[in-house]
């Protein structure tokens, strides 16, 4: 039986492990009231919720959930409750008086009753890529996980959205209960903001979650491609010595050009400065640089100065293929391109041409079009290109933060509390 938190850590843990059950002690509802409730509740599902009410009239806000068989027990409290171990020794835990539920106008679920982590009725979260077992503890006692099977999507209150599925009107119309789409990432180009607004669905994202891991991956790609690690590894594997003429780039004293100066790019800038690099940036949405020592200049001025150009812009109509034959031609001869943002920012045919002509010395790409690239794609298997399969945010800690922030955002919206909602304009869009 799933119940609200009682403010007792031990009781909460035991409830989450289904090692205890809840029983009433003291004042009880009248038999007639229970009979009427039984008629309302009817069938039960495997994951019931517990609604607290001190009179039958309070059941009204939950009538929809009752008819959908999502409410299993309605308690005519507040009454003293004692928790009894259901398995093993009959150990008694302390009694806790359940508080009256609080509700806010226009909010589907009232705020939590005891410790700001639970909802009076456990909401259903649809994970479009499934919820990995490694992160299942993030929803225990807080929500019911369903998905990725679409047969469960119609009863979802919130969707935890990865980056592959397109969330637009064709999907949103099949989710009558959906109130929020919460991205497990900083980008939200796979969610139609217009369609979500028309459906009354809030869209959230996790701008802080991937910052550290993506910045580290950007630096890793920059080091790997400028030091020609694939070539050196291949020579070592073949039993060959290093080349007599060294061509790798020494980063100390080199210039890094950042396109976009948001959270991730700011951290990349600090790491690059620690390596002795001069860092310059172009960001049309900033009037002054948020990073000490990083100057803001125009794109035309930056491209011929940078030994390495790193992309940190969002996928927008205005940024699609912003790295094309024209901008590549304006880049410094022998420079490098790194992209851990979005694949659509780069015209890959133009990039291949610049590499083949020797105008660019190399490229490090975590994002491509499509993802992953098919076997035999001309960008794969080159000595001057390193491609990783969109894993920049994929450290153990980083991936957990993505799910944690996405889940927290979804539950906050359902409670009517502040969440990381996507910006209403692109002014905050740089990553």
Judge contact between 125 and 43, C-beta under 8 A.
no
pLDDT of residue 86 exceeding 70: no
We report the CATH number of the domain holding residue 152 as 3.40.50.720
Classify residue 112: in a domain, yes or no. Answer: no
Residues 135 and 282 placed together within one structural domain of the fold: no
Beta partners for residue 125, in sequence order: 145, 158
Query: What was the pLDDT predicted at 244?
Result: 80
Residues 184 and 274 placed together within one structural domain of the fold: no
Is residue 377 part of the annotated active site? The answer reads: no
Widest pairwise Cα distance in the chain: 93
Distance between CA atoms of residues 57 and 51, nearest Å: 12
Classify residue 1: in a domain, yes or no. Answer: no
Q: Could you report how far apart the first and last alpha carbons of the chain are, in Å? A: 43
Query: What was the pLDDT predicted at 243?
Result: 83
- Mean pLDDT over 225-231 rounds to 95
Q: Quick one: pLDDT band at residue 115, thresholds 50, 70, 90?
A: very low
* Annotated active-site residue in 64, 166, 371, 427: 371
Residues 154 and 238 placed together within one structural domain of the fold: no
Query: What was the pLDDT predicted at 183?
Result: 97
Q: Which residues of 348-370 are buried (b: 16+ CB within 10 A; e: fewer)?
A: bebbbebbeeeebbbbbbbbbee
Classify residue 104: in a domain, yes or no. Answer: no
Using DSSP's 3-state secondary structure scheme, residue 338 falls into: strand
Contacts of 218 (CB under 8 A, 6+ apart): 264, 268, 310, 338, 340, 366, 392
384 vs 33, more confident? 384
Residues 254 and 143 placed together within one structural domain of the fold: no
* Annotated active-site residue in 390, 401, 405, 415: 390
The string of pLDDT tens digits covering residues 316-352 is 999 999 999 999 999 999 999 999 999 999 999 999 9
Q: Are strands 180-183 and 202-204 parallel, antiparallel or unpaired?
A: parallel
pLDDT of residue 362 exceeding 70: yes
Distance between CA atoms of residues 99 and 413, nearest Å: 22
Tokens (6 digits) for 351: 């990039």
Distance between CA atoms of residues 374 and 247, nearest Å: 30
5 burial level (CB within 10 Å; 0-12, 13-18, 19+): buried
Residues 326 and 383 placed together within one structural domain of the fold: yes
Report the percentage of the chain scoring pLDDT > 70: 70
Is residue 371 part of the annotated active site? The answer reads: yes
Residues 311 and 380 placed together within one structural domain of the fold: yes
* Whether the predicted model's global pTM rises above the 0.75 cut: no
Tell me which residue range forms the domain holding 128: 124-209+398-428
- What's the domain count of the chain? 3
Classify residue 70: in a domain, yes or no. Answer: yes
* Annotated active-site residue in 282, 342, 399, 401: 342
Chain-wide mean pLDDT for the chain? Answer: 79
Classify residue 2: in a domain, yes or no. Answer: no
Residues 165 and 225 placed together within one structural domain of the fold: no
Residues 204 and 236 placed together within one structural domain of the fold: no
Distance between CA atoms of residues 199 and 420, nearest Å: 19
Judge contact between 141 and 15, C-beta under 8 A.
yes
Q: Quick one: pLDDT band at residue 202, thresholds 50, 70, 90?
A: very high
Lowest mean pLDDT among 13-17, 337-341, 386-390: 13-17
Query: What was the pLDDT predicted at 78?
Result: 39
Classify residue 102: in a domain, yes or no. Answer: no
Residues 233 and 344 placed together within one structural domain of the fold: yes
Q: Quick one: pLDDT band at residue 29, thresholds 50, 70, 90?
A: very low
CA–centroid distance for 221 within its chain: 22
Classify residue 114: in a domain, yes or no. Answer: no
Query: What was the pLDDT predicted at 121?
Result: 80
Residues 289 and 174 placed together within one structural domain of the fold: no
């Amino acid at each position: 039986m799933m119940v609200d938190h009682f403010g007792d850590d031990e009781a909460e843990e035991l409830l989450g492990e289904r090692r205890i059950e809840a029983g009433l002690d003291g004042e009880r509802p009248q038999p007639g009231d229970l009979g009427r409730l039984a008629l309302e509740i009817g069938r039960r599902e495997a994951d019931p919720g517990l609604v607290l009410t001190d009179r039958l009239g309070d059941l009204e806000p939950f009538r929809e959930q009752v008819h959908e068989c999502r409410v299993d027990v309605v308690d005519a409290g507040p009454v003293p409750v004692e928790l009894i171990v259901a398995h093993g020794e009959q150990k008694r835990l302390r009694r806790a008086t359940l508080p009256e539920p609080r509700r806010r106008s226009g909010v589907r679920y009232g705020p939590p009753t005891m410790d700001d982590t639970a909802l009076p009725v456990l909401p259903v979260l649809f994970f479009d890529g499934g919820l990995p077992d490694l992160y299942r503890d993030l929803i225990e006692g807080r929500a019911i996980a369903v998905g990725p099977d679409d047969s469960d999507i119609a009863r979802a209150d919130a969707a935890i959205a990865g980056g592959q599925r397109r969330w637009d009107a064709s999907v949103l119309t099949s989710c009558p209960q959906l109130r929020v789409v919460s991205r497990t990432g900083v980008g939200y180009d796979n969610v139609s903001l217009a369609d979500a607004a028309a459906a009354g669905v809030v869209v959230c994202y996790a701008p802080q979650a991937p910052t550290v891991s993506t910045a580290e991956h950007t630096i890793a790609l920059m080091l790997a491609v400028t030091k020609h690690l694939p070539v050196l590894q291949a020579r070592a594997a073949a039993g060959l010595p290093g080349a007599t003429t060294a061509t790798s780039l020494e980063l100390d004293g080199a210039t890094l050009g950042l396109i976009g100066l948001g959270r991730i790019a700011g951290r990349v800038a600090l790491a690059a400065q620690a390596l002795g690099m001069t860092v310059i940036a172009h960001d049309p949405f900033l009037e002054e640089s948020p990073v000490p020592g990083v100057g803001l200049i125009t794109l035309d001025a930056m491209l011929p100065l940078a030994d390495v150009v790193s992309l940190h812009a969002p996928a927008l109509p205005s940024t699609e293929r912003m790295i094309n034959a024209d901008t590549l031609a304006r880049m410094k001869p022998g420079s490098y391109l790194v992209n851990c943002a979005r694949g659509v920012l780069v015209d890959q045919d133009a990039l291949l041409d610049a590499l083949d002509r020797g105008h660019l010395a190399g490229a490090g790409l975590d994002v491509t079009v499509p993802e992953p690239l098919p076997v035999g794609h001309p960008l794969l298997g080159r000595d001057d290109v390193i491609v990783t399969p969109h894993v920049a945010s994929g450290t153990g800690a980083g991936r957990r933060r993505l799910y944690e922030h996405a889940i927290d955002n979804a539950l906050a919206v359902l409670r009517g509390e502040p969440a990381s909602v996507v910006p209403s304009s692109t002014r905050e869009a740089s990553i």
